[in-house]
Amino acid sequence: QVHLVESGGGLVQAGGSLRLSCAASGIIVSMNTMEWYRQAPGKQRELVARITVSGITTYVDSVKGRFTIARDNTKNTVYLQMNSLKPEDTGVYYCKRWGYSDSWGQGAQVTVSS
């Protein structure tokens, strides 16, 4: 029922930018607190960004000032704009709605080279 499809990943040089997209179906993005997680190789999955239904955003310290979470309600899509990328940002990025145990999608691979 709930389907979240991540896209926009790729390989980028350090200092570059990527924009990830999370296309949602089965939920209304504007009525949910939405989150981005990432999982680096050999590490646990980590919450990196959150946007509430009222538009309040929060970020893990390591990405503050570099990443921006946003949504386009007309497209029912959540975005993660990633600027000034660092090699330590490398990992698989996942979209999720807060407060539910939905299955994880395939994620978007982000690789940042030095």
> Mean pLDDT throughout 22-39?
97
Per-state percent for the chain, helix, strand, coil, to nearest 5: 10, 50, 40
Q: Dump pLDDT digits (tens) for 54-75.
A: 999 999 999 999 999 999 999 9
* pLDDT, position 1: 87
User: Which residues, including other chains, have CB under 8 Å from residue 61's CB and lie 6 or more apart?
Assistant: none
pLDDT reading at 109 higher than 90: yes
What's the mean pLDDT when you consider all of the chain? 97
Single-letter code of the amino acid located at 23: A
pLDDT reading at 48 higher than 90: yes
Angle (CA) 33-37-42 rounded to 5° is: 160
How many Cβ atoms are within 10 Å of 45's Cβ, its own excluded?
15
